[in-house]
Amino acid sequence: MDIYTDAAREGAALLRSGGLDVWGIVATSLRVSLTAVFVALLVGIPGGYLLGTRRSFGRRAGLVLANAGMGLPPVVVGLIVAMSLSRRGPLGGLALLYSPTAMVIAQVIIAIPVIVAVTAASVSSVPRELRLQARSLGASPLHEALLTLAEARMGLVAAVAGGFGAIISEVGAVMMVGGNLQGETRVMTTAIVQYTRMGRYGAALALGLVLLLLIVIVNIALTGMQTSAERWERG
């Protein structure tokens, strides 16, 4: 059991001494993943709203796609993005491979299906009568959408949590398109892989704990939003 106590002691010492660039790595992780979630929300919420409310032919196909997309292997996303951005790829001229932007692109692709599917599920559970009533009272389609989304806000918070959780803890794709460059594209997950490979279990464990802590903090915040939404609902 020495392996755990040794690693824990070494990890704690590293966190205290600041010998590990933990905060730089955490900052990169947050900057990349929050940007990606924000972009994914811009696409995913309108997409999920349309899929959840419209009764059209494409709806079923779209839902299947979104649900299947939640199981999209991140490593495949990483491969396709890496190939596209590589100097020999179609978007090679942008010189984006191994940059934070490349990581955001991969994470947006991973997060969108999660956000679309959860949004679609939560808006479709909003009573249809509400929308009909709004429309009969002369609400514009945008107003109607905002009303429905407000009604489904509990689900929307879950969509954000799901999307953020999927990308902040993902390692395969960001390693492939980010390259784990120190001070530039090194995020918590890729740093953990690196330190494990180097046999520096203490450093890996320290970063692992920081990652867990961060996920818990984000989810406390999101759950707080959910419960305050609940209270607001009860009036």
Partner 1 sequence: MHRSVLPRRRRAAMMVLVAVLAVSLSGCAADKPASTADRSEPELIEPVDVVLASTTSTQDSGLFDVLISAFEYANPGYRVKVVAVGTGEALKLGETKDADVLLVHAKSDEEKFVAAGFGTERRDVMYNDFVIVGPPSDPAGVKAAADLAAAMQAIGAGTARFVSRGDDSGTHKKERKLWASAEISTPTPEAQAWYLSTGQGMGETLKVADEKQAYTIADRATFLTMKDTLELEIVREGDKDLLNQYGVIVVIDAKSQAGGQVFADWIVSAEGQTVIGEFGIETYGQQLFIPNAQ
Q: Which residues bind partner 1 (CB under 8 A)?
A: 3, 86-87, 95, 97-98, 175, 179-184, 186, 190-191, 194, 196-201
Q: Are 189 and 183 in contact (CB under 8 A)?
A: no
Q: How far is the CB of 13 from partner 1 (least distance, A)?
A: 18
Between residues 11 and 163, which has the closer beta carbon with respect to partner 1? Answer: 11
Q: How far is the CB of 130 from partner 1 (least distance, A)?
A: 52
Q: How far is the CB of 181 from partner 1 (least distance, A)?
A: 5
> Which residues are CB-neighbours of 144 under 8 A, at least 6 positions away?
131, 134, 135
Distance of CA 222 to the CA centre of its chain: 13
Between residues 15 and 191, which has the closer beta carbon with respect to partner 1? Answer: 191
* Alpha carbon distances (Å) from 216 to 4, 103, 152, 167, 224: 22, 23, 23, 15, 12
Between residues 55 and 88, which has the closer beta carbon with respect to partner 1? Answer: 88
Of 118, 103, 106, 1, nearest in space to 51 by CA: 118
> Which residues are CB-neighbours of 32 under 8 A, at least 6 positions away?
100, 103, 104, 107, 174, 187
Between residues 184 and 230, which has the closer beta carbon with respect to partner 1? Answer: 184
Between residues 184 and 233, which has the closer beta carbon with respect to partner 1? Answer: 184
Q: How far is the CB of 14 from partner 1 (least distance, A)?
A: 15
Between residues 121 and 191, which has the closer beta carbon with respect to partner 1? Answer: 191
Q: How far is the CB of 197 from partner 1 (least distance, A)?
A: 5
Q: How far is the CB of 191 from partner 1 (least distance, A)?
A: 7
